[in-house]
Every structure is written in structure tokens, then in C-alpha cells.
Amino acid sequence: ETGVTQSPTHLIKTRGQQVTLRCSSQSGHNTVSWYQQALGQGPQFIFQYYREEENGRGNFPPRFSGLQFPNYSSELNVNALELDDSALYLCASAVAGGQGEKQYFGPGTRLTVT
Amino acid sequence: GENVGLHLPTLSVQEGDNSIINCAYSNSASDYFIWYKQESGKGPQFIIDIRSNMDKRQGQRVTVLLNKTVKHLSLQIAATQPGDSAVYFCAENEGDSSYKLIFGSGTRLLVRP
């Protein structure tokens, strides 16, 4: 186990609704990244937060937004949900600095949009 | 549980044999590479990483080889065990010490008893 926790485990939403997913970093970690994993595919980078600011973003629309709190926990918010947003959402934490980052993943939140 | 990797390439090995999982990457500027193992219903679990200034790194029962000339990464698992059955992903960063990881499509490893 990595020490990264996510909530909720599963979630069912209706198209057009909004959702908030939560992540608690591993102790000592100060960056949080969010990834979307569609069924049968590898995780895709959404964005990363460091020092409570977005620090890099993947190819996701603005309706995907996030927050990082002073205790390094994080939220992922998705507005105007679409059917294609159904996926496993993964949070990963790391210690910033150095060459590259060794990211530790949580168990994920399975989002189903109907 | 989570059904990861419905249509992934599959490597089937006999318990006790060595496994080699291969990965091609596309970005010659990538300077950090990492292998993850993902079991059904779980998030990716770190296995081993390697930086671009190295061509080999060993861990416990695992070895990662990096060939920058042909942009190829491999994961070798010695004496494969049933608990090694999972989907394995390679990932690279974007280069320039970027924190963004780009994942491959994954390989399913099945260990036959």
C-alpha cells in the first residue's frame, strides 16, 4: 500500500452533473497529480498540483479543474459530465525536485456517468 | 473488481520462468522511465525506475533495461510467481525533468502454475 487514499471508491452520476473526487497524499509528499484511466488503457495525465497551484496540464478541457490544500490533499472537479468521462480516476503523490518523479498512486475512484 | 486491460497484449509464462515485458517509447527527450504493476481493482504500483543516464537497473527479482538508441525499455522478472500476474505499464516523462508521466498501453502477464 502506498499511503495515498482516495474517496469515494465508486460513484455514479448523470450526464450534465458535477462531481468532486478527493485524494490524500502520502505523508511527506508535496505534489499531487491526477490521471484518467479508461477501461483497457493506460492512465492519461490530467494535471499536477504543487504549492497549491496547477503545475502542468494534459489534454483535458477546462471543465476538469482541481485544488490542492495546505496539507497537500487535493480535489478533482469535473463539471458538465459527459458519458466519455466514465473512467477510473487516479491520484498520485510525489516529492517535488530532482530529475523526474517517482509517483505513488492511490486505488482510484471509479466514476460511471449514465 | 476492476477489469483492467480488456484487449491488451498478453504474455503467458510458466511459474518459475523468467518474464520479459517490452515497451517502446516515442519521445527522445524523455529522461525518466518507470514501470508500474496494476492488479485488478487497484491503482498502479511502483516497481522500478531508471533515468536516461543509465542503461540498466536492478531491483529485487526485477531488472529494467533502457536502450535509448532504439527507444526501447524492458522489464525482466526473474522466477515469475503467481502473484506477478497483473497488467504492467511502462511510463516516460516528457523530458526536461517534467513531472508529467506518459503511459504505454500495457501488457497483461499471466503466470501458469
For B65, residues 6+ apart whose C-beta sits below 8 A from its C-beta are B55, B56, B73, B74, B76
**Residue range A62-75, pLDDT digits in tens:** 999 999 999 889 99
Percent of chain A at pLDDT > 90 equals 75
Q: Do B100 and A45 touch (CB under 8 A)?
A: yes
| Size of the A and B interface in Cβ pairs below 8 Å | 87
**Residue range A18-37, pLDDT digits in tens:** 999 999 998 888 899 999 99
The pLDDT value given to residue B72? 94
A91 to chain B: closest CA residue: B43
Tell me, yes or no, if B105 comes closer than 8 A to chain A by beta carbon. yes
Assess contact for B66 and B55: CB atoms under 8 A.
yes
Task: With cut-offs at 50, 70 and 90, classify the pLDDT of residue A99.
Answer: very low
Q: Do A33 and B101 touch (CB under 8 A)?
A: yes
The pLDDT value given to residue B2? 38
Res. B5: pLDDT tops 50: no
The pLDDT value given to residue B24? 93
SS3 call for A88: strand
Using CB atoms, which residue from A44, A99, A108 is nearest to B97?
A: A99
CB count in 10 Å sphere of residue B58 = 12
Measured at the CA of B18, the angle between CA B64 and CA B24, to 5 degrees, comes to 40
